[in-house]
Amino acid sequence: MQFKPTESYNVIVIGGGTSGLMAAINAAQNGARVLIVEKNRQLGRKLLLTGGTRCNVTNRTTREDLIDHIPGNGKFLYGPLNQFDQEDIIEFFESRGVQLKEEDHGRMFPVTDRSKTILDTLVNELEQYDVTTKLKEPVEDIVYDMDKRQVLGVRTSNGMYGANAVVLAIGGKAYPKTGTTGDGYRFARIAGHTITSLYATEVPLTSDDQHIKDRFMQGVPLRDVEVTVWDDQDKAIVKHNLDMIFTHFGYSGPAILRSSGHVNLFMRDTGAEICYLSIDLIPEISEEEWKLKAETNRDKQLKTLLKMWMPERMGELICRQLNLDPSSLYKQLVHSEVNQLIKKIKYFNITASGSLPIEKGYVTGGGVDTNEVNPKTMESKLMSNLFFCGEVLDINGYTGGYNITAAFVTGRIAGQNAAWQGFS
């Protein structure tokens, strides 16, 4: 079929989310005539939900720490961050009148505590640079010249649009209610790209542990614990010191969400049916320190003693698993029982049988193979004038401003370089 576009642009951005908006703005700032094509009825639907609807725009931390908090190919961002980093993101918004504040762990939010503040700023930039936006118009295909290996434009439900460059900013598969249904992977495959296996990250874990099945622990939170994910050689894959909570289907909370991608990757790569984790209920003190503290309270009942460090229900579960009477006095324990007790407190073992589906996660693991993308420009190495940014790439980080940083950084570089290509 001959491609006869009804409208032509220098750059077409597919997807009006976080990375797509930044890409469109930067393409337009570099003089390109830009079109955003978005399937939703509004721009930035997922952006409005980020940070609990407050929009954690970035994380003011060191570059090394930022990369460490993006376990999914974070090292790919070393080069891009030399061009545009967290401080540049902060300056972008503050120079446009958005006041930001720093909260715990370097998280940056607008002082309004409203994600709409961030979205409005981005939309105002689009208007300032006369970016054309077409809403409620799903892209059906990117049109390629397969002989010349270059982009020609896009075909949507309403028409055909020509472009010298196309930016694929369509998102992953998490949060499908915001329109992220994985369409971008099909477009990338047609161009010859490899899509690495998709998996859920930042998602609650499911479990068949007895205390989960009988709902004995449902709703019980644990504060400031250390959760460790173990491989099949009893080697720690990752550790996180955060809160967690027991649910009716398994485990959730910040420590679990951050562990989930590692759990799913381990199970995917090894074919294992379960993954072993452990909880250190008192990471701030050693086994010997705990024994000394317990000895000074030796006349207390076990359930009373354990409540000093954990919820009562957690203490009851530990006693149940060790066949100890919660009403018995600590001083009645023999030496071996004391050792078993502290081992259980420091290494309370749990298992994961998997996680909730990818659609229930905050972030998609997997995507367009970063080995096939030029990190300096975000251009495809396989198809000229095709650019990638945001979650469609095989890049994923923890919550806390890391994923949105990756989206803004890759969006900025993709848009700028697409504009330069758009005039070629």
DSSP symbols for 121-166: HHHHHHHHTT-EEE-S--EEEEEEETTTTEEEEEEESS-EEEEEEE
Tell me which of 112 and 104 has the higher pLDDT.
Answer: 112
Residue 365's DSSP bridge partners are: 199
- Given a cut of 90, whether residue 421 has pLDDT beyond it is no
Residue (of 311, 243, 234) closest to 275 by Cα position? 234
Tell me which of 193 and 399 has the higher pLDDT.
Answer: 193
Per-residue pLDDT averaged across 100-121, rounded?
Answer: 95
Per-residue pLDDT averaged across 44-71, rounded?
Answer: 92
pTM of the model: 0.92
Confidence of residue 284 (pLDDT cuts 50, 70, 90): very high
- Given a cut of 70, whether residue 148 has pLDDT beyond it is yes
Taken in order of first residue, the domains within the chain and their CATH numbers are 7-198+360-422 (3.50.50.60), 205-355 (1.10.8.50)
- Given a cut of 60, whether residue 246 has pLDDT beyond it is yes
- Given a cut of 60, whether residue 179 has pLDDT beyond it is no
User: pLDDT (tens digit, 9 = 90+) per residue, 119-136?
Assistant: 999 999 999 999 999 999
- Given a cut of 80, whether residue 176 has pLDDT beyond it is no
User: Which residues have CB under 8 Å from 318's CB, separation 6+?
Assistant: 306, 324, 341, 344, 345, 348
Say how many C-beta atoms besides its own lie within 10 A of residue 3's C-beta: 13
Q: CA 380, CA 167: separation in Å to the nearest integer?
A: 10
Per-residue model confidence (pLDDT) at position 52:
81
- Given a cut of 70, whether residue 151 has pLDDT beyond it is yes
Q: CA 105, CA 391: separation in Å to the nearest integer?
A: 23
Per-residue model confidence (pLDDT) at position 399:
87
Per-residue pLDDT averaged across 357-368, rounded?
Answer: 87
Per-residue model confidence (pLDDT) at position 174:
62
- Calculated CA dihedral for residues 403, 405, 407, 410, nearest 10 degrees: -130
| Cα-Cα end-to-end distance for the chain | 25
- Given a cut of 60, whether residue 1 has pLDDT beyond it is no
- Given a cut of 60, whether residue 332 has pLDDT beyond it is yes
Q: What are phi and psi of 331, to 5 degrees?
A: -70, -10
Per-residue pLDDT averaged across 248-263, rounded?
Answer: 96
Handedness of CA 41, 47, 53, 54 (dihedral sign): negative
Pick left, alpha or beta for residue 350 (phi over 0 → left; psi -120 to 50 → alpha; otherwise beta). beta
CB 168 within 8 A of CB 387: yes
Q: What is the DSSP letter of 192?
A: T
Per-residue model confidence (pLDDT) at position 178:
57
Handedness of CA 99, 102, 108, 112 (dihedral sign): negative
Least confident of 46-55, 124-133, 155-164: 46-55
